[in-house]
């Protein structure tokens, strides 16, 4: 795993001296083992390296034999051995054992279509000097990030936005529509970045520049295509076979490879398949947190321990005190993100990566399985909403009005129960795209409208986050399928994978995700609905696969992740951040949002009357909204962002 950066001069413009070196230096955490620079005149490339394979011979940027095709590559090509064998047979000669070296040779052989032959997680920049062509590419599902800025006479690109901001020419100005999306989705979805003029290369895409002409191409798009002929027995056999092949490829490294073991179905299944038949015990890691709502220390890892013993792994339980999530840590987590990230799950991921990096450089993780196989609880909710659609609209409105009466009692639990039922009835009457947007929204459209100052509201007039889901939901008859389609396009790369990449790479830890191997993805996209969600049970196929290796009770457990010490927004650590951001004398958010409304959110989470004060919102949603606003204000302060 590495970091890449670079610059391409367009239309005869000059490359700013020293810029790529400064950009590369900002990515040192992604590759602490080595740094390399390439100067090709019009094109310059930078690379920081985390040595996992061929430590002696895998330095980058790396070229073909003639030196006229050069690549800077981040990630892993898992099928590099098969590609190398094929290219050897076609006369290509290799000097290293690095997976990166197959890329320039594959490009020589197949041109830009070479990207479609790569199986793995990657982002790369390839310079073809003879054709004066630059190719940027990103893997199919967006495991590895790639950002760029195209301003007319130059193209800048890097693994993280902070590298692009090494250029003084980058204007740090907010993109109003990207902000509108962020407030709903907690991270701005590609291709927009929250800074105007900067872009995210979409997953499964290439950007090619030839003599100044720019072409964007989508070579892969995850589309659900259920195959009703695929029965459970056939799907189980295919899943186990493909997962085993993915694990064989992803376990290749010159350094020890470990595995996260959270006790959830995905990680337990991966450990079962990976540990079986090994000569040496597999290293597994569980990060447990001493945390409880009343301050008592609680151990959260017994299931992971049982799985580790069952498969004879060399297991480490990395225990993190509850006090670890203090204000200083929260600040470090927020500040490492180049764009505001409004999901508090980044905090336990940061801690897990920090602890695991003490022992290994690379681990396998079960991340992505919930999005790919239907594991989110929201899919079950979506199924229930679909069932409500048979109720005539007048009856739904009457039931919703009755449910809202439950919000009158002073008991917060009753208010929230009535609010959820009323919301479910309202959601059942929406279109698929509107229902998906609501289920995935932190701030819905009315809440955003109430926050905006009039001048900012005019900037986003007519723009709705729900509209970007209209294409994704088209053709999906049931709401759970529509939700899954949108998650694969937006939530997975912009949320889960962004968090995993940023929080692991800041510690120089490579995380591989076998459940997102292209062979597994191909099968998952063809699953009929009953193998995703059945009778309220999520991840049906993964559970059936796990039953072959684990006791039934463990295979049927609810989804799990590392116990997250999510600091309550009304706790001491978050109060300090709220005071520094939302309650500061002149927060930057005041240029776009009504400060009384922002401060009402900040104060609402402190007392039991908060739900009534904010329209009966559940306390958890209030906390989420406050954290998102804190993340946004902190980001604007850190990067000196103007409106």
Asked whether residue 226 falls in the same domain as residue 80, the answer is: no
d(CA 639, CA 643): 12
In a domain, 420, yes or no: no
- What is the number of domains present in the chain? 2
The pLDDT of residue 613 is 54
Q: Read off the pLDDT of residues 298-324 as tens digits, 9 standing for 90 and up.
A: 455 778 888 899 999 999 987 766 555
The model carries a pTM of 0.89
The pLDDT of residue 510 is 92
CA distances to 293, 587, 590, 600 from 578, rounded to whole Å, are 21, 11, 15, 12
Domain CATH code at residue 86: 3.60.20.10
Asked whether residue 275 falls in the same domain as residue 165, the answer is: no
Please classify residue 25 by burial: count the beta carbons closer than 10 Å to its beta carbon, then call 0-12 exposed, 13-18 middle and 19+ buried: middle
The pLDDT of residue 32 is 83
Asked whether residue 199 falls in the same domain as residue 277, the answer is: no
Asked whether residue 307 falls in the same domain as residue 205, the answer is: no
The pLDDT of residue 276 is 84
For the beta carbon of residue 212, count every other beta carbon within 10 angstroms: 15
Please classify residue 33 by burial: count the beta carbons closer than 10 Å to its beta carbon, then call 0-12 exposed, 13-18 middle and 19+ buried: middle
Asked whether residue 74 falls in the same domain as residue 90, the answer is: yes
The pLDDT of residue 388 is 60
Q: Which pairs count as long-range contacts for 638-641, CB under 8 Å and 24+ apart, including other chains? A: 638/334, 638/335, 639/165, 639/172, 639/195, 639/338, 640/172, 641/172, 641/173, 641/174, 641/195, 641/588
The pLDDT of residue 434 is 72
Asked whether residue 214 falls in the same domain as residue 226, the answer is: no
Q: Give which of 367, 374, 370, 345 is closest to 513, Cα–Cα.
A: 367
Asked whether residue 500 falls in the same domain as residue 354, the answer is: yes
In a domain, 286, yes or no: yes
For the beta carbon of residue 448, count every other beta carbon within 10 angstroms: 21
pLDDT block averages, 10 residues each, the chain of length 643: 90 82 95 89 91 69 90 94 93 88 95 94 96 96 95 92 92 93 89 93 96 93 90 94 92 86 87 86 81 45 84 86 68 90 86 90 92 83 66 56 50 46 55 72 90 93 81 70 84 92 93 95 92 86 88 61 55 80 90 92 66 63 90 94 88
In a domain, 141, yes or no: yes
For the beta carbon of residue 498, count every other beta carbon within 10 angstroms: 24
Residues constituting the chain: 643
Asked whether residue 154 falls in the same domain as residue 247, the answer is: no
- For strands 198-200 and 154-158, give the pairing: unpaired
In a domain, 533, yes or no: yes
Q: H helices of 276-429, where?
A: 302-310, 327-336, 346-356, 369-373, 377-388, 393-404, 412-427
Domain final residue pick, 567, 587, 604: 567
In a domain, 624, yes or no: no
DSSP state of 114: G
Q: Give which of 102, 98, 77 is closest to 88, Cα–Cα.
A: 102
Asked whether residue 231 falls in the same domain as residue 276, the answer is: yes
d(CA 317, CA 324): 16
Domain enclosing residue 513, as ranges? 222-389+428-567
Q: Give which of 66, 60, 181, 157 is closest to 464, Cα–Cα.
A: 181
| Cβ 1 vs Cβ 50: under 8 Å | yes
Domain CATH code at residue 501: 3.40.50.620
In a domain, 634, yes or no: no
Domain final residue pick, 200, 218, 236: 218
d(CA 277, CA 215): 47
For the beta carbon of residue 319, count every other beta carbon within 10 angstroms: 15
Asked whether residue 333 falls in the same domain as residue 206, the answer is: no
Asked whether residue 12 falls in the same domain as residue 117, the answer is: yes
In a domain, 359, yes or no: yes
In a domain, 155, yes or no: yes
Domain final residue pick, 567, 591, 611: 567
Asked whether residue 328 falls in the same domain as residue 474, the answer is: yes
């Amino acid at each position: 795993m590495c970091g890449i950066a670079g610059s391409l001069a367009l239309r005869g413009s000059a490359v700013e001296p020293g810029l790529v070196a400064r950009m590369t230096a900002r990515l040192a955490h992604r590759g602490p083992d080595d740094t390399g620079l390439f100067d090709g005149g019009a094109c310059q490339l930078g690379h920081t390296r985390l040595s996992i394979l061929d430590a002696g011979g895998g330095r980058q940027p790396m070229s073909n034999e003639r030196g006229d095709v050069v690549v800077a590559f981040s990630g892993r090509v898992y099928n590099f051995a098969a590609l190398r064998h094929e290219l050897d047979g076609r006369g290509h000669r290799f000097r290293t054992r690095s997976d990166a070296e197959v890329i320039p040779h594959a490009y020589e052989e197949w041109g830009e279509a070479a990207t479609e032959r790569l199986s793995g997680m990657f982002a790369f920049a390839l310079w073809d000097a003879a054709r004066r062509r630059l190719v940027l590419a990103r893997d199919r599902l967006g495991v590895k990030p790639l950002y760029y800025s195209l301003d007319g006479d130059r193209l800048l690109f890097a693994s993280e936005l902070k590298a692009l901001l090494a250029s003084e020419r980058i204007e740090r100005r907010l993109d109003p529509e990207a902000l509108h999306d962020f407030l709903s989705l907690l991270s701005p979805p590609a291709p927009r970045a929250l800074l105007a003029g900067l872009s995210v290369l979409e997953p499964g895409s290439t950007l090619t520049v030839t003599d100044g002409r720019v072409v964007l191409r989508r070579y892969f798009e995850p589309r659900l295509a259920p195959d009703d002929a695929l029965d459970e027995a056939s799907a189980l056999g295919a899943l186990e076979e493909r997962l085993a092949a993915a694990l064989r490829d992803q376990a290749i490294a010159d350094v020890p490879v470990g595995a996260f073991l959270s006790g959830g179905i995905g990680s337990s299944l991966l450990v079962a398949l990976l540990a079986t038949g090994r000569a040496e015990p597999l290293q597994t890691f569980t990060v447990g947190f001493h945390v409880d709502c009343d301050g008592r220390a609680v151990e959260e890892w017994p299931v992971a321990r049982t799985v580790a013993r069952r498969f004879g792994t060399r297991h480490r339980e990395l225990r993190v005190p509850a006090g670890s999530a203090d204000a200083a840590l929260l600040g470090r987590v927020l500040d490492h993100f180049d764009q505001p990230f409004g999901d508090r799950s980044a905090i336990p991921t940061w801690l897990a990566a920090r602890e695991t990096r003490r022992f290994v450089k690379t681990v396998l993780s079960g991340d992505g399985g919930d999005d790919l196989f239907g594991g989110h609880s929201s899919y079950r909710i979506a199924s229930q909403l679909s069932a409500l659609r048979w109720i005539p609209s007048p009856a739904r409105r009457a039931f919703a009005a009755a449910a809202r009466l439950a919000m009158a009692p002073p008991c917060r639990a009753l208010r929230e129960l009535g609010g959820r039922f009323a919301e479910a009835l309202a959601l059942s009457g929406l279109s698929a795209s509107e229902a998906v947007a609501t289920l995935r929204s932190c701030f819905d459209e009315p809440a955003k409208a109430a926050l905006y100052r009039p001048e900012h509201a005019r900037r986003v007039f007519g723009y709705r986050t729900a509209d970007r889901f209209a294409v994704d939901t088209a053709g999906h008859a049931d709401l759970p399928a529509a939700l899954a389609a949108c998650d694969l396009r937006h939530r997975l790369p912009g949320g889960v994978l962004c968090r995993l990449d940023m929080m692991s790479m800041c510690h120089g830890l490579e995380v591989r995700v076998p459940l997102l191997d292209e062979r597994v993805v191909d099968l998952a996209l063809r699953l009929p609905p009953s193998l995703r969600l059945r009778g309220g049970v999520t991840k049906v196929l993964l559970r059936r696969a796990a039953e072959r290796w684990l006791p039934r009770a463990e295979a049927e457990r609810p989804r799990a992740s590392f116990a997250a010490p999510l600091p309550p927004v009304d706790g001491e650590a978050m109060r300090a951040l709220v005071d520094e951001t939302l309650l500061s004398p002149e927060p930057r958010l005041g240029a776009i949002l009504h400060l009384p409304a922002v401060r009402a959110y900040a104060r609402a989470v402190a007392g039991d009357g908060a739900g009534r004060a904010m329209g009966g919102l559940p306390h958890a949603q209030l906390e989420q909204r406050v954290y998102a606003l804190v993340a946004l204000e902190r980001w604007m302060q850190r990067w000196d962002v103007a409106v």
